[in-house]
Chain A
Amino acid sequence: DIVMTQSPDSLAVSLGERATINCKSSQSVLHSSNNRNNLAWYQHKSGQPPKLLISWTSTRESGVPDRFSGSGSGTDFTLTISSLQAEDVAVYYCQQYYRTPHTFGQGTKLEIK
C-alpha cells in the first residue's frame, strides 16, 4: 500500500495568517496517462463527513474559497490556507487515488492560535 504521511500532526495559526500542511507519499502518485498527480485534500469538521477541497494536487472543487490552494509533485505535496478564517478549524487529510487502496494521511488538526 502507498503510505501517506502528513506533517505536522497539529497546527495553531492566528486568524488571517497562513497555514501550511505537508503530505508525503511513499511512492509517486503521478498518473502517466494524464501526467497529473492523483492527490486530493479533504476538510473534516466535527460531526460532518469529510469534504473534498482539492483534487489533482491543485484543482479546487466548486465553491471552495480561493484562500485554499494545493501544490506539489512527485511525492511531496502541500495544502496552503493563505489567510486563516475561523470556519477553517478542522482536520485536514491528504489522500492518494493513484492505486487502491486509496490511502489517507493521518490527518492534521488545525486550530486558531
Chain B
Amino acid sequence: QIQLQQSGPGLVKPSQTLSLTCAISGDSVSSNSVTWTWIRQSPSRGLEWLGRTYYRSEWHYEYAVSVQGRITINPDVSKNQFSLQLNSVTPDDTAVYYCTRAILGRLDYWGQGTLVTVSS
C-alpha cells in the first residue's frame, strides 16, 4: 500500500525558507512511471500545482512560473523521499502543502497535508 508521510515545521518567518519532506512507502522515488509533485491550497489561490520531479533515465524538474526562482524539489534516493524548499517566503505563501504521487498527471496518492503559516 502506497503512503506518503509529510514532515516539516508549521511556522516559518517571513523571508526565511519553507522546508517540507515527503517520505514514500510502497513505491520508489526513482520509479520511471510516476512523478512526485507538490500542491498547495490557500483561500486566495485555491489548489495550486507547484512543481514536480521524476526519473526517466535521469532526474527531471518542473516548476510553476508563480514560484520559479524560489522553489526547489529534490529527490533523496537513499531515504526514498522527496522534499520541497521555498525561499524568501511571505504571508502569501501561507497554505496547506501536500505532497502527491502522479501517474500520467493524475494525482492518485496524497500526503496528509501540512499547514504552513508564514508569520513573525
Q: Contact partner of B64 among A38, A55, A101, A106, CB < 8 A?
A: A101
Residues of A contacting B: mostly: loop
- Assuming the contacts A38-B105, A55-B106, A100-B62, asked whether A49 and B111 have C-beta atoms less than 8 A apart, the reply is yes
Query: Are the CB atoms of A40 and B112 closer together than 8 Å?
Result: no
- Min CB distance, A33 to chain B, in Å? 11
B107 touches A (CB below 8 Å): yes
Cβ of A77 within 8 Å of any chain B Cβ, yes or no, is: no
Cα–Cα, bound, A61→B108 (Å): 9
Contact check, B98 vs A49: say whether CB atoms are below 8 A apart.
Answer: yes
Least CB distance from A37 to B in Å reads 12
Which residue from chain B places its CB closest to the CB of A97 in the assembled complex? B105
| A42 partner, pick from B48, B107, B111, beta carbons under 8 A | B107
**Is the C-beta of A52 less than 8 angstroms from some C-beta in chain B?**
yes
Q: Given A38-B105, A55-B106, A61-B108, does the pair A49, B46 have CB atoms closer than 8 Å?
A: no
Sampled A-B contacts (15; CB under 8 Å) = A38-B105, A40-B105, A50-B107, A52-B107, A52-B108, A55-B106, A61-B108, A95-B47, A98-B105, A102-B37, A102-B49, A102-B102, A105-B46, A106-B46, A107-B46
Is A49 a contact partner of B112 (Cβ separation < 8 A)? yes
Binding site for B on A (CB under 8 A): 1, 38, 40, 42, 49-52, 55, 61, 93, 95, 97-98, 100-107
A49-B98, A100-B62, A101-B64 known; A107+B47 contact, CB < 8 A: yes
Q: How distant is the Cα of A101 from the Cα of B49 in the complex, in angstroms?
A: 6
By secondary structure, the B interface counts as strand
Neighbour of A104 across the interface among B46, B52, B106, B108, CB < 8 A: B46
Q: Which residues of A contact B108 (CB under 8 A)?
A: 52, 61
* In the complex, chain B residues whose CB is within 8 Å of the CB of A98: 105
If A49-B111, A49-B112 touch, whether A40 touches B46 (CB-CB below 8 Å) is: no
**Chain B residues near A38 (CB-CB < 8 A):** 104-105
Chain A to chain B: the 7 pairs with minimum beta-carbon distance, closest first: A97-B105, A49-B110, A104-B47, A101-B49, A55-B106, A101-B64, A102-B49
